[in-house]
Amino acid sequence: MVPENQTQFTAFILLLFSEKPNQEAPLFGLFLSMYLITMIRNLLIMLAISSDSHLHTPMYFLISNLSFVDTCLVTSTVPRMLVSFRTQNKAIPYADCLTQIFFFTLFAGLDHFLLSGMAFDHFVAICHPLHYAVMMSSWFCGLLVILSWTIAFLVAILFSLLVTLLSFCTNQQIQHFFCDLPEIMKISCSDTLINYILMYLVSVLLGVNPVMGIVYYYIQICFSIIKIPSAQGKYKAFFTCGSRLCVVSLFYRTVLGVYLTSAFTNSSLKSTVVSAIYAMITPMLIPFIYTLRNKDIKGGLWRIISRKISQLCGDSF
């Protein structure tokens, strides 16, 4: 169903960081730098994993998918915000807003499911190493990714449809830097109770079980690590476990922060800043933490560079 007064307006107004208009130029530079770092880092990770046969394992398969999803997540919001900063045109067409909601929801959901899959991979590798090849087969990993895409796609469709059920009166201004479903529902002149119920119900149903699974996996991992007799083995396992726990903590703390600031604060700036951390900083840091001190990734990149140098040297002679 199309909004009742769709003939009266064709676009929303994204206010961006409206409480700090004098800082838009520094913010443009900051967000552009973060976007470029995220893109380059994730593309290098995907290139290293896809090009090096040594990295064709379940863990790196999931990491490459996570890098791809994070690249798409930041691309769904940041480029348009940067253009708005430079042109001072903060209008976003209704159709573009729906598209942004769809893709942001899709890739944010995929982040959630892939982190759960990676926690399971880590759990199997530490707690059931003898069964790892069977439990984490290429068939199972492919099925896991396909299932994640399917569920995230259906949720994204549902959240986009929730917007089409709303009508809008005179207020077209969204206190955000992208089209976020809760912020859009705030400015609607429709009764949004059913929309809120559906949104939070789906979020809880699809969020609680994976989170509980992650908690269970890492508790079992910690118990298994304690039983390792070698001090060096314990250190290596705890380092890997700690880096992954940092990723999970960073992701879910920012998700929780987005929901809490949206629900319990009247400050549009606080809500926008927390959402910016979730939409930009988290995708930038997650691949870095996962590949921190990772000799396999560095080795894969070095082999690619070495091959390119050899080809160039061979062509020059």
Residue-level pLDDT, tens digit, the chain, 317 residues: 444 444 455 788 888 775 566 667 787 888 898 899 889 888 888 888 888 777 788 888 988 898 899 899 999 988 988 888 888 888 888 889 999 999 999 998 898 899 889 889 989 988 888 889 889 998 999 999 999 999 999 999 999 998 888 888 776 888 788 888 888 888 888 888 888 888 888 878 887 888 888 888 888 888 888 887 777 777 777 776 777 777 777 777 766 666 665 555 555 566 676 677 777 777 777 767 766 556 667 666 677 767 766 666 665 55
Residue 110 lies in a domain: yes
Residue 3 lies in a domain: no
| 3 state SS of 106 | helix
Residue 302 lies in a domain: yes
What is the C-alpha to C-alpha distance for residues 310 and 317, in angstroms, rounded to an integer?
11
What is the C-alpha to C-alpha distance for residues 190 and 55, in angstroms, rounded to an integer?
52
User: Number of folded domains in the chain?
Assistant: 1
Residue 241 lies in a domain: yes
| 3 state SS of 165 | coil
Residue type, 61: F
What is the C-alpha to C-alpha distance for residues 289 and 273, in angstroms, rounded to an integer?
22
Residue 43 lies in a domain: yes
The enclosing domain of 80 has a CATH number of 1.20.1070.10
What are the two backbone dihedrals, phi and then psi, of residue 91, each rounded to the nearest 5 degrees? -80, 140
Residue recorded with tokens 């930009």:
280
Residue 1 lies in a domain: no
What pLDDT score does 155 carry?
92
pTM comes to 0.84
CB 69 within 8 A of CB 110: yes
Residue 72 lies in a domain: yes
Q: Which domain holds residue 174?
A: 11-316
What is the C-alpha to C-alpha distance for residues 273 and 17, in angstroms, rounded to an integer?
8
What pLDDT score does 3 carry?
43
| 3 state SS of 310 | helix
Number of Cα atoms under 13 Å in the Cβ half of residue 266: 0
Q: How far is CA 95 from CA 98, 154, 264, in A?
A: 5, 19, 29
Residue 6 lies in a domain: no
